[in-house]
Structure 1
Amino acid sequence: MANKPYIIQRSPFVVPTTDGKIIKEHFGQATDGNSKLSIAHMKAPAGWSEPFQTPEFDEYTFIISGKKQFIIDGETVILSAGESIKIDKNTRVQYSNPYTEPCEYLAVCLPAFSMDLVHRED
């Protein structure tokens, strides 16, 4: 029997974190070895933030619920549920949820997210 022309992902890779953020990669390097694209479902707890980074990938974010703050080349952008953004590769950005409610969102990276390409600052 031939391979099917689709893949259903029911067991995403849960990325280990130490900051309370839940990351479930559905497609990408960690899940299926795809280096061209990654898709992750994320939940950032209230008060969460991560260091500035300058990734070598375009990142698309769609907010499902809550709000998320982006500092992009010094400009603060806040997105709410139903809004989305594309941030070009090689752009300095910081992601955070300084609000009192969790933020649930989807992130798509082209090429796929990898720690070698994200370039987080210390």
Structure 2
Amino acid sequence: MDKKYTIQKSPFVVPTTDGKLIEEHFGNATDKNSDVSIAHMIAPPNWKEPFQTPKFDEYTYIIKGKKQFIINDEVVVLEAGQSIKIEKNTRVQYSNPFDTECEYLAVCLPAFSIDLVNREEE
């Protein structure tokens, strides 16, 4: 009988240069799944990414700390226990301008891909 489940014990750790930990549990890098990606992330204090306009919906759930989102020029701050859905084709910047790290989960539909994220030059 074929197993109808997959346990992920060794997520793909995405190489970064900004101190952010990205562990993709399911998605393009881990299991070639382009439908959905699920990643555990830890953003260090005073971290930020460039603005982007992804071609995927992104759901974020904050586990610990706070995370700032600039969504079409509106500043939104989420704290532990809160979540957000940002619809595809929305201009957004993710950051942690605070003094403590932020731990969170991110789910992208379709899966995160560098070809779909549309990051702006800083």
Range into which the TM-score falls when normalised by the shorter chain: over 0.9
Number of the residue aligned with 1:32 = 31
Instruction: State TM-score, norm by structure 1.
Output: 0.99
User: 1-side partners of 2:2 and 2:66: how far apart?
Assistant: 40
One-letter identity of the residue aligned with 1:50: E
Number of the residue aligned with 2:17 = 18
User: 1-side partners of 2:37 and 2:49: how far apart?
Assistant: 19
Number of the residue aligned with 2:88 = 89
Give a deviation string over 1:59-108, Cα, whole Å, max 9, x none: 00000000000000000000000000000000000000000000000000
List structure 1 runs of 4+ shifted beyond 3 angstroms.
Answer: none
Cα RMSD of the aligned pairs, angstroms, is 0.3
| Aligned residues with identical type, % of pairs | 74
Structure 1 unaligned residues grouped into runs of 5+? none
1:3, CA displacement in angstroms?
2.1
1:39, CA displacement in angstroms?
0.1
One-letter identity of the residue aligned with 1:68: K
Structure 2 unaligned residues grouped into runs of 5+? none
User: 1-side partners of 2:113 and 2:12: how far apart?
Assistant: 14
Give a deviation string over 1:7-51, Cα, whole Å, max 9, x none: 000000000000000000000000000000000000000000000
One-letter identity of the residue aligned with 1:70: F
Number of the residue aligned with 2:63 = 64
One-letter identity of the residue aligned with 2:7: I
1:3 is the counterpart of 2:7: no
Number of residues of Structure 1 aligned to a counterpart in Structure 2: 121
User: 2-side partners of 1:117 and 1:88: how far apart?
Assistant: 13
Structure 2 residue matching 1:31: 3-state secondary structure = helix
Structure 1 residue matching 2:3: 3-state secondary structure = coil
Instruction: State TM-score, norm by structure 2.
Output: 0.99
